[in-house]
Each structure stands twice: as structure tokens, then as C-alpha cells.
Amino acid sequence: MTGAGMSAESGISTFRDSDGLWENYSVEEVCTHEAWLRQPEVCLNFYNMLRRKFKDCKPNEGHKLVASLQDQFDVQVITQNVDNLHEQAGAKHVLHLHGELMKCRPEGRDQGVYYPLDPENPDINMGDVDSHGVQLRPHIVFFGEDVPNLSRAADIMETADIVVVIGTSLNVYPAASLLRYAPSNAPIWLIDPKPVFSPYREVRQIQKGASEGMKELVEILREQ
């Protein structure tokens, strides 16, 4: 399970740190369903900006090491991130909890309906509609909206032999609550440079960034 710290080394700003994206933008203005209904163009412009800002970002060593574990394990990635760096690194099974930046969907329709955006021209503008004439919006789970993949993530967590948590403060709910679905005999490893408290289970923390932490963990797992 990965959070914003997974992609920080790739140049994608975290939202909650002191220099994160929310320092320059109000969550209430760009990332709630109410904001979308009130001023959709402002929301569209914010996510258009993010796509342009991060379009050249590449997977870091941490992403690549996660994908490399597929040689030895059945790796299921549950990510809170909206970038596609896990996929770029070669991860085969990635479940996005909070949506995907490079996709759009019609407002008000089933979240299973979405469309990929053109990497060379990824903006969504007012007046961009689907074949039914419905305005397109970012394929992002706004604050206050249901997390449609949460039950799938819980199902995956219940089957885990080993749980690895990378780059998350475990303060973002409901994603943080997924740890309570992990089997009691499944060890939980947590990689983050800052001390992290888990309210659900004891964890084995590697207090390093994503890449250095994954290097250490890969060695541990390959020895077992």
C-alpha cells in the first residue's frame, strides 16, 4: 500500500507536508465535490496544472523495486496516489483508491466509465463532453465522495501474506483503516523517513525514504 511519499523522489509533491501542494491551494476550492459543482472550471484548471507539472516525472528506484518483487511474489499494489508511476515501473496489478490523474470520466455517471487522456494534450476544459453530452471531469475521488475501490482493496488486504506500507502517514482515511483487514499472522512493514504510528497493528518500520527503504526490505524478503 503506497502513499504520497512513494512518489516524492520522482518530483511529485506531497499534499500534506509543509511545502506540499495544499500550501498553495485550498482543498475546499479545488478538491471537493461541492467545489466541482460550484466552480468546475477552477477544479479543471487545477488538475490540468498538475498534469502539465508532472507529465515528465519518471518512476524512482522504489517504484522499480516494488515491481521487481513480482519475480518472487504475487504483488498487489494498492495506492493512494493518482499518478501512474507504478504502472510505468512495470507493476502489473495496481488498484488506485483515489482515482487516476491521466483519466477523465463523465460527471454523475458510474465511476466504472472513464477515458484515458492524451499525454500530449491532457487538459480537460469546460465543454468537453462524452458521447451523451455529459461534461467530463477528472477521474479523481474528491474529498467527501465515496471511495469505490475500497471494498476491493479490503479484499486484497485480507489475502495478504506480507503487507508493505510505503510513504504514508496513515492519517488519510478511509485508506489507513485497510490495515485492520490484514491477517493477524501477516507481518506489516512500513517504510517512511518519519516515525509513523499505526492505530491498528504493530508494524516493523524502516525509517528511510521509498528507494532506500525498499532496497533494505528487498534484501530482507529475499533472504526469508
Our CA angle for 206, 7, 181, nearest 5°, is 60
Burial of 218 (0-12, 13-18, 19+ CB in 10 A): middle
User: Are 65 and 9 in contact, with CB atoms under 8 Å apart?
Assistant: no
Residue type, 153: A
Residue holding cell 508532472? 54
CA distance 182 to 156: 9
Of the residues 33, 98, 132, 139, only one is catalytic, namely 98
User: Are 2 and 164 in contact, with CB atoms under 8 Å apart?
Assistant: no
Whether 98 is catalytic is: yes
Sign of CA dihedral 187, 169, 179, 76: negative
**Terminal-residue alpha carbon distance, the chain:** 21
Residues that are catalytic: 98
